[in-house]
Amino acid sequence: MRALLSAVGTRGDVQPIVALALRVRDLGHEVRLCVPPNFVEWARGFGFEAIPLGVEMRQPGQRSGAAAAPLTPETLRRLRESMPDLVSEQFKVVGAAAEGCDVILGANAHQYAARSIAELRGVPCVTALYAPVAIPSPDHAPPPAPGATWEPTPASADAATNDQRWADNVRAWNDRALERVNHNRSQLGLAPISDVLRFNITAHPWLAADPILAPLPTTPGMQVFQTGAWILEDRSPLPREVEEFLASGEPPIYLGFGSMPAAEGMSRTLIDAARAVGRRAILSRGWAELGPIDDSLDCIAVGDINQQALFPRVAAVVHHGGAGTTATAASAGAPQVVAPMFGDQFYWGSRAEALGIGAAVVGPLTTDRLTRALRAVLEPAIARARSVAPQLRADGALVAARRLVALPGAERLRNQ
């Protein structure tokens, strides 16, 4: 069997797909990947055929090693708004990549072509989502769009209120992409659709998230299969300077926002907060190119690093609330402070608080607000974080791989 796995977005969208691909290959099957251009060589490094799809979520024209321009919320908003212009490319690239494939899996709801191409070729299609909040449900409102102001769902919000918010969300998706999707479907001789979001998600999505961290919500009209999170195992050693730093004092605080933007002066905000609670700091540069603010020996800056090896050795993790970082910190038993910016990051911050393993700082991240959050989690959340960690599943990618490779045969049997 050959599977086509497609991902668009940042590393948080792509890395789980590679974890799944490795498991599918371990089961003796072939995998072809469609990933953003800046992840093609990385994916090929695992021995996969990888085809560029979509745009890099860095500033257009920016490449690894180039001077980093901040990825601002406004930039993200423009990139998302340009998605209808990328729909035709998805149809073209995924359509060609699907040649000879027996099943198609697309990661996140921005897979505009995967289901149509699967329909055309008569093969099964799966949409994988990384957070429950991405699934329409009367239990919660949809996540905010990039650049939009986040408003927490009031405790008094009822199912009707949330249903209305989802209806508004569906209209926004249709305004953005319905005409382009239907144009491409008509070119293939396929009938038009009326709801881009629900068509992309399908009636049987997979939820690639841990059931402890991310309980499955009510999903009327959908049969959701929860696999557990797809974790890419990292066996790379920590850099020597990081090992030396860890050994030279008390556990530091990890500070980093991965592929997210950062306001001007954020490095100082983060480091000053760590110092205010008497802790050293490991600052992740990330796409925002954060860096030290002075020559003090109580802080070092790092690039891409093995978080699975590092997080069990830090006092706390301060991050943006990506699904992968949240799961890695939780699995390490490290208290966390989540500073969400958009999308499902607010959900992960709320889950860290609900589980007692961390705190969320919603809104402008200042030194005072981060200091208070760190003080709230450094001691009280340690025992709880360590008790939750062993309960989290580590086999989500394998569970998904086994189900995926069984789909084509099951589909053919149903059609006989």
For 209-248, the pLDDT digits (tens) are 999 999 999 999 999 999 999 999 999 999 999 999 999 9
374 Cβ contact list (under 8 Å, min separation 6): 253, 273, 274, 276, 277, 279, 316, 318, 337
Contacting residues for 15 by C-beta, under 8 A, at least 6 apart: 232, 324
What is the model's pLDDT at position 59? 43
What is the domain partition of the chain in residue ranges? Answer: 2-230+394-415, 240-391
Comparison of pLDDT for 416 and 97, the residue scoring more:
97
Better-predicted residue by pLDDT, 214 or 176: 214
Could you give phi then psi for residue 340, rounded to 5 degrees? Answer: -70, 155
Give the model's confidence band at 416: pLDDT under 50 very low, under 70 low, under 90 confident, else very high.
Answer: very low
Residue 47: its pLDDT value, please? 97
- Asked if the 240-391 domain carries CATH number 3.30.450.90, the reply is no
pLDDT value at 415 more than 60? no
Tell me whether the CATH fold assigned to 2-230+394-415 matches the one assigned to 240-391.
yes
| Cα–Cα distance for residue pair 333/312, rounded to 1 Å | 6
Could you tell me if 281 and 302 are in contact, meaning their C-beta atoms sit under 8 angstroms apart?
no
Q: Looking at residue 66, what is its pLDDT?
A: 37
Q: Which of 368, 346, 407 is nearest to 132 (CA)?
A: 346
Spatial distance between the Cα atoms of 330 and 389, rounded to a whole number of angstroms: 6
Residue 291: pLDDT above 90? yes
Closest CA to 254 of 244, 265, 245, 263: 245
Q: What is the mean pLDDT of residues 138-147?
A: 79
Q: Of 409 and 367, which is predicted with more confidence? A: 367
- What would the pLDDT profile of 191-207 be if each residue is shown by its tens digit? 999 999 999 999 999 99
Q: Which residue has the tokens 């609670």?
A: 277
User: pLDDT tens-digit profile of 300-347?
Assistant: 999 999 999 999 999 999 999 999 999 999 999 999 999 998 889 999
Distance of alpha carbon 171 from alpha carbon 80, whole angstroms:
15
Please give the share of the chain, as a percent, with pLDDT higher than 90. 79
Determine if residue 286 is left, alpha or beta; phi over 0 gives left, psi from -120 to 50 gives alpha, anything else beta. Answer: left
Does 2-230+394-415 carry CATH code 3.90.870.10? Answer: no
Compute the mean pLDDT over every residue in the chain, rounded to the nearest whole number.
Answer: 90
Nearest in space to 255 (alpha carbons), one of 241, 269, 236: 269
Model pLDDT, residue 145: 63
The pLDDT value given to residue 61? 35
Per-residue pLDDT at 70: 46
**pLDDT recorded at residue 146:** 55
Element (H, E) at 358: strand 358-360
pLDDT of residue 238: 97
Edge-first strand listing for the sheet containing 103-107:
49-52, 30-35, 2-7, 103-107, 125-129, 206-207, 225-226
Is 37 in contact with 139 (CB distance < 8 Å)?
no
Tokens encoding 250: 């008390």
pLDDT tens-place string over residues 369-398: 999 999 999 988 899 999 999 999 999 999
412, pLDDT greater than 60: no
> What does the pLDDT read at residue 400?
98
Mean pLDDT calculated for residue range 344-357: 95
Of 339, 335, 329, 330, the C-alpha closest to 369 is 339
Q: Does pLDDT of 102 surpass 80?
A: yes
